Amino acid sequence: MLYGRCTPHVSTVWLDGPCLRFPHHAKWKLGRAERLINSQRVVTNCHGEPLEQRSPTLKPVIVLRHAPEVPLGSLEQVFSRWQIPQLPFDLFVQTPKAIPLKDAAGIVILGGPMNVDEVETYPFLRAELDWICQAVDREVPLLGICLGAQLLAKAMGKPVYRNRIKEIGWHQIEVLPAARDDRLFHGRGPIETVFQWHGDTFDLPDGAVQLARGATCIHQAFRVGRSAYGVQFHVEMTPELIEDWLCDPHFSAELAELDHVDAASIRAQTPQRIAAMNDFSQCLLDRFAQWCWEASTSSR
């Protein structure tokens, strides 16, 4: 896939099929990563010519899961394409005493049906807040999705509360000017298509950079410091995962309570909306994966 909606003046890196493009002017340009890719990662160059291949030992990306019905989705394929190992923790099964952040290339915090304040019912939420603070302090690349974004806001001292409506199904968000030079969001927008499934929202952490907003939920994406991202929308969705959720008893019961959206309308929109969502989400996820790959192959 070509991410042609990024800036027109680009340098190109070929990786096992997809071609990722990066602006020459970007302050964060991954020059070292490009050199590492050329010597260690690339199978062929842009002319299809084989390049030298090595097998560096890669640090894993930690994945925090809150419910069996909320998997990595398309992120699993992205990490596989980058050959980045995953270290999953199914917190709904067992809560570890600690997670190995010092040995991690990144951390992904997935969604879930619970509220961040339900710590008595879900005690792992309390541990997660501490882990998130540690990850922010260590500047470990962090991506919090839906509940993960809310946990990031909570860990930074901000409240999480009911949004004025439940956002479920297909929505559009506005990518803000502050995202112009952002590592993950540069070149995107001004309007992007996303898939939502949430009822809560949060206050923006002090000093955070808001990257996107929505009409019915203001805080859609933000960055804390240099390394921690929260996205309220579900950037990991696939058509199969959408259908799984629409058929899941818990999800379908929640949807049945609403009068502004239903399963039939979501299904009807999915064939039209999925390509636009993929263009946006796969761009963000590939950029996050490259960032983790660079962290995995460099000395921290």
| Active centre residues (catalytic) | 146, 234, 236
User: In terms of C-beta density within 10 A (0-12 exposed, 13-18 middle, 19 or more buried), how is residue 8 classed?
Assistant: exposed
Q: Which two tokens stand for residue 262?
A: 């239903």
Measure Cα distances from 71 to 253, 263, 294 in Å. 20, 20, 24
Q: Are strands 228-231 and 221-224 parallel, antiparallel or unpaired?
A: antiparallel
The DSSP bridge partners found for residue 148 are none
In this structure, are residues 244 and 195 in contact, taking their beta carbons and an 8 Å threshold? no
Measure Cα distances from 49 to 36, 43, 249 in Å. 17, 8, 50
Half-sphere exposure of 101 (CA within 13 A, CB side): 19
Of 279, 102, 128, 69, give the one whose Cα is nearest residue 189.
279
Q: How far apart are CA 186 and CA 218, in angstroms?
A: 20
Q: Where are the alpha helices (DSSP H) in the chain?
A: 31-36, 74-81, 124-138, 147-155, 239-247, 249-256, 263-297
Q: How far apart are CA 54 and CA 286, in angstroms?
A: 21
